[in-house]
Structure 1
Amino acid sequence: MLKKNSQNAINLKRKPVVLMSMGAQERKGHDYQVMTVKYIKPLVEHAGCVPILAPTCFGPEDIEQYLSMVDGVYLTGAGSNIDPTLYGQANLTPEKQQDILRDQFDIPLIHAALKMGLPIFAVCRGMQEINVALGGDLHQKLYSLPGMLDHRENGDASVEEQYADVHSVRFTANSWLAKLLGQEEIMVNSLHGQGIKTLGKGVQPIGYAEDASIEAIYLPEASQFTLGVQWHPEWKAAQNPHSIKMFEAFGYACRVYAESE
C-alpha cells in the first residue's frame, strides 16, 4: 500500500489516466449518462490524473479495452442503490432509484481491475460496490437498525448543510490510513442510507463511525492501492486537507502503475 505522495517523485511524460464509470439518468423522456463535476474536480486538481468517462449503458463487453488505456479506477457515489438481488436480498427500498446497468458494468470492472493490479479508489456507492463484488452484502436501511445513527442527508437542507461534517470516523490504530491522514479520528460528512453488513472476501474495515458502522475499507491482500470510503471526500476537497491527502495518494499510486507499464 502506497502511503506517500510527491507530484514529482514519478517523472512521467504524461499524466496518469483514470477510468470513471458513468450512471444512468432520465430527463424529459431522454436517457442520459452522467458524471457529477464534484467527483472529477479533485481527481484532476489533487490526484493529477486525466479522467476517462465510461458509459455503462452498453454493457461490460469492452471493460478490458477500457482498462488497457488507464492507470487507475475511481468508483464514485451516485443517487442510485445497488440492486439487492446481486447480494441475495429482496428490495426493501423500492422508492429509491437503481442503476442496474452500472451494477452490471462495475462489478466485473472491479474484478478485472484487481486482476490487473490497477489502483482503486471508491467513494460511497463505489465502496459498497467493492464489497458486493467480492461476495459481501449490505444493510439496505442502516438507519432502521437499533443503535445506528441516521446517516442520510436532510433533503430539505441546503447542499452546504447536507455535505457538512456531521460525525466522526475513527481509523484502526497505527493503520496506513491513519498514518496517511496524520490522525486516528476525523470528522466527515454523511449522505447514505445503506452500509456494509457482511464483508466480502478479502475486504478489511479500516474506519468506523461512532455507531460502529463501517466507513472505510481496503483489501490488504491486494498488491495495489485500494481504498473505499463511505463519506464524500470529493466535496470541496480543496478545503479539506484529509481529502487532499487521499486524492494525492491515489494519484501517486496511479503514477507508479503508469511508470511500471
Structure 2
Amino acid sequence: MSNKNTGNTPRKPVVLMSMGHQERKGHDYQVMTHKYIVPLVELSGCVPLLAPTCCGPDDVDQYLDMVDGIYLTGAGSNIDPALYGQENLTPDKGQDKNRDLFDLPLIRKAIERGLPIFAICRGMQEINVALGGTIHQKVYSLDGYNDHREDSDDPVDVQYAQVHGVRPVDGSWLQKLVGDEIQVNSLHGQGLDKLGEGLEPLAYAEDGLIEAIHMPALPQFTLAVQWHPEWQAAQNPDSVKIFQAFGEACREQAAKRA
C-alpha cells in the first residue's frame, strides 16, 4: 500500500527531533538513531523533522513554526553541568554543548507556544535543566539509589532488557494509561535532582528516583521519561500506548493549524 498523501488523506502532524553530534574518522556528523524515528512514524503517526543543532539556536522559532510537537530523544552525551550551576563530575563522559544550547531555548519556546512535548532520557533531563532544575550527575554513587546503568559489554538486547519496575503516581493520567506498575529498561548514570519550575513527578523507580515528569498546569501534552520506551516499541504494549498518546496530542495540535 502506498504511503503517499492524496487529497483525501489527512495531513500528518510534523514533529521536531533535534539531532546530536558524533565524530567519525575526523569528520563531525549530525545524527539521529533509527530506533527513535521508527515509533514516531509507525506508532504516533507523525512525520519527523530532524533539526541539526550544530548551527546554533537562532532559527528555533522558524523550526517551531513548522511543527505540531517536540520529541526530545536520548543520547550518549551528558548535559553540560555549568548550565545548572555545577562542576563536571563526569569528565570522562562526552558532552554535546551545541545540542544543549539548541534544546534549552527550544523547550522554553515550545512550552510558550502550547506544543505537545515528549522526551526520553537525556531529553527528560534537558527539560528539567531548561526550567531551572538540577541533575544528579552520579546516581550510582548516592546512598539509597540503585545503579541504573547498563553494562556496555552486554549484547544490546540485554542492555535494553526490562530490569526494574516503575510506579506511576496514584490517580495520575499515566497510571490510567499504563496501570499501577510497569517494567522498564535502565540505561542512565544520571537522574533528576531538584525539579524545574512547573514540573511534577509522574512516576518513580523502586528506589525512589523520579522516572517520569509532566507539567500539569499546562493545557498541552507533556511527558518525559527516564527509561527508553522507543526500544522495540511496537512489541511493548506500554510503549505503544505512550507513543499513541503523544501522536494523538500532535494531531489535535495540527488540527488547530488547519
Query: Same-fold call, TM > 0.5?
Result: yes
In the alignment, is residue 186 of structure 1 matched against residue 175 of structure 2? Answer: no
Q: Any idea what the Cα deviations from partners look like across 1:185-230, whole Å, max 9, x if unmatched?
A: 1100000000000010011001000110000000011110000000
Offset, 1:147: 1.5
1:232 to 228, 242, 256: 228
* 1:254 matches 2:254: no
| CA offsets 1:94-145 (integer angstroms, 9 cap, x no match) | 0000000000000000011000000000000000000000000000000000
**Corresponding residue to 1:166 among 153, 159, 163:** 163
Letter in 1 for 2:108: H
Q: Is the aligned partner of 1:215 residue 2:201?
A: no
2:25 equivalent to 1:17 = no
Q: Which runs of 5+ in 1 are unaligned?
A: 1-10
Secondary structure (helix, strand or coil) at the match of 1:178 reads helix
Q: Which residue of 1 aligns with 2:5?
A: none
User: 1:124–1:231: 8 Å Cα contact kept in structure 2?
Assistant: yes
Q: Which amino acid aligns with 1:164?
A: A
Matched, 1:119 2:104: no
Q: Write the letter of the residue equivalent to 1:249.
A: A
Q: In structure 2, what residue type is equivalent to 1:200?
A: G
Instruction: Between the two structures, name the one with larger relative contact order (CA 8 Å, sep ≥ 6).
Output: 1
Matching residue of 1:49:
46
Counterpart residue identity of residue 22, structure 1? M
**Counterpart Cα distance in 2 of 1:184 and 1:124:** 21
| Alpha-carbon separation, structure 1, partners of 2:96 and 2:233 | 26
CA RMSD of the aligned region, Å?
0.9
Q: SS of the residue aligned with 1:252?
A: helix
1:27 aligns to 2:33 (yes or no): no
Query: Which residue type is aligned with residue 19 of structure 1?
Result: L
SS of the aligned residue for 2:217 comes to coil
* 1:198 partner amino acid: K
**Do 1:12 and 1:259's aligned partners in 2 also have CA atoms closer than 8 Å?**
no
Give 2:55's match in structure 1, choosing from 53, 58, 63. Answer: 58
Aligned to 1:129: 126
Letter in 1 for 2:221: F
Tell me the distance in 1 between the aligned counterparts of 2:233 and 2:171.
24
Letter in 2 for 1:212: G
TM-score normalised by the chain length of structure 2? 0.96
Paired positions, count: 250
CA distance in 2: counterparts of 1:108 and 1:55, whole angstroms? 14
Percent sequence identity over matched residues?
69
- Aligned ranges for residues 59-98 of structure 1 at < 5 Å? 59-98=56-95
Tell me the secondary structure at the aligned position of residue 205 of structure 1.
Answer: strand
TM-score with structure 1 setting the length: 0.95
- C-alpha displacement of 1:12: 7.0
Kindly report which structure 2 residues correspond to 1:96-107, keeping only aligned pairs within 5 A, or say none. 96-107=93-104
Please list every run of 5 or more consecutive structure 2 residues that lacks an aligned counterpart in the other structure: 1-7
Contact persistence 1:76–1:124 (CA under 8 A): yes
